[in-house]
Amino acid sequence: MNALITLLTVGLLTLSTEGYAAPPPIEEAPADVDGYIRCIQDFYATNRWQAGTIAGCRANNPAVRSLRDGDYVSVTFSRAQSRIYEQSRKQWIDFDKALRTQLLSRKLNELFQAANPLTAYSFKRVASDLDARFSELNEEPFSWYPATKVPYTTVSGSSLASLHSAELAQFTRCLETAISQLSASRISRSAFDSNVDTCSSEISARNGDASKALYQPQVFRSVAEQTWAPIASQRVRTQDAVVIPLAKKESESSWYVTLLKLICIMIMGVGGLFTFWNLVNRVPATISKKGGRRSRRKRNEHEDSQPRGRNQEGKKLDLGTFMLKHRKISSMTTNHLCASCMHWTGKRTPHPVNREPYVKLDAVGECVKKRAGSPYGMKSYKDGFQCKDFSDIGY
């Protein structure tokens, strides 16, 4: 039974030793600390520093890792071992403190300026890359040691904020210049966006990675939208200035056309009534004419049996005089051969016999209301005899 217990105890101790490697003897600490320092200096000098460089140098020098993890129990050391422990620990801590101070106060900014970022986008990218590569300086035990990090600046001394502000100012000036060369009231959104891309490219062309990216692109989009807003407003006002008068003109034109239609209908109605009245008036004249022919026939029969008198000759003379001074309304009466007109607006004189309308040869008037087929119906108004539409004389 005792033998079984002893065997189990040895097995557990073996498992424990395999799971947790024992720290190297304290006597190896000075050599491992020197090896750790040389490892760090080599990566620093050759600019091969990457995330995990410090952890790798510790792993290659186990005594330093044990010093960091607190694996050594100094109370078990002899006086000589304690002296080795204290000296090695102090050398390691002093080196780490100096390393953190040197990297944060000088090396990082030197590496940043060596990358020579020219744009805010490149500035942020190089800064983020360096912070990631040297992130171990912010872990324990380095985070315990005081040190001041020098802010990243370009060779010209620009910070990220100042570089970003300068790029926004350049972008704004570029847009304003491009728009001033175009008509703000007519520039389209596609043309504006093309100018935005051009102005953005003038900045991103200086990116270190040859990308077209911008630092905080949403800010550039905001500037572009603020620039476009007054242009869009001006376009709306310009369109209203054109569309509203056109709509008003169309509305007025529609009213004018409607009014003309109503006038034409009224004129047609009046013309129809006048034509009807004229036809009605001609009926008695026709009847009178027929009656006059019968009377003249009887009178002629009677006069044939009697000698012609002076009264008859006088009547013929009066009718002849009328025909010499008057002329029936026709193409011979009016200028421009206005024979297709229906109405004469000048003074009328009825024929002594048939009562048809005649005008004096020197009468002044107008021949109005064209009939279909009249080639002179649309002539412009001039004084004298002309064919015209009723609408042209304001009826």
Note the pLDDT tens digit of each residue in 157-178: 999 999 999 999 999 999 999 8
Count Cβ atoms within 10 A of the Cβ of residue 93 and give its class: 0-12 exposed, 13-18 middle, 19 or more buried: middle
Cα separation, 277 vs 354, in Å, equals 17
Nearest to 53 by CA among 154, 133, 149: 133
pLDDT of amino acid 367: 62
Q: From edge to edge, which strands make up the β-sheet containing 387-388?
A: 343-344, 367-368, 387-388
For residue 217, the one-letter residue type is P
- For the chain, residues with pLDDT lower than 50 are 1-19, 241, 243, 300, 302-315, 317, 335-341, 376, 378-395
H-assigned helices in the chain: 2-19, 29-45, 53-59, 62-69, 79-102, 108-115, 120-133, 160-180, 189-204, 217-304, 310-325
Q: Give the pLDDT of residue 321.
A: 86
Interval 120-133: pLDDT, tens = 999 999 999 999 99
pLDDT of residue 289: 53
pTM greater than 0.85: no
CB 329 within 8 A of CB 344: yes
Q: Which of 171, 199, 190 is nearest to 231 (CA)?
A: 190
